[in-house]
Amino acid sequence: MLMPKKVKFRKVQRGRMKGKAWTGSSVDFGDFGLKAMESGWVSQREIEAGRIAITRFIKRNGRIWIRMFPDKPITKKPQETRMGKGKGAPDSWVMVVKPGRILYEMEGVSPTEAREALRLAANKLSIKTRIVVRGEELD
């Protein structure tokens, strides 16, 4: 599973997800990309499920870039625990995604194959996405 080797703080606050993504908002590596259209948390399981869906469909042809990494710890208290007594222990990892962020990129496959593979990956994510082509992603 994806998770950081080392973090500065074990627990972080939830934060707010306002504004658009300025960094990571253009297709830089491949020819096709999957762009986030809304903000949200993408979990490590969703990222991995999307990666597996893409690699299975293109049968390990072409090249894939995963442009996201879950670096935010999400805490959870044990079940049937009363209120109070501090914040729970780190449970899972997520990435904060803002609209405009490129999540996956790929090259070396035909446009129809790329669109279908990215569509399969988009179905694994909990946010709305759009498939973009290099040089045409201005919105």
pTM for the predicted model, two decimal places: 0.91
Which residues pair with residue 42 across a beta bridge?
95
- What are the per-10-residue average pLDDT scores of the chain (139 residues)? 88 94 93 96 96 94 95 95 94 96 96 96 97 79
What is the pLDDT, as a whole number, of residue 22? 92
Give the H/E segment covering residue 94: strand 89-97
How does strand 102-107 pair with strand 72-76? Answer: unpaired
Runs of H (alpha helix) within 23-110: 44-57
Domain boundaries, the chain: 40-74+89-133
What is the pLDDT, as a whole number, of residue 136? 77
- Distance from C-alpha of 50 to C-alpha of 103, rounded to nearest angstrom: 10
Topology annotation, domain 40-74+89-133: Aldehyde Oxidoreductase; domain 3 (3.90.1170)
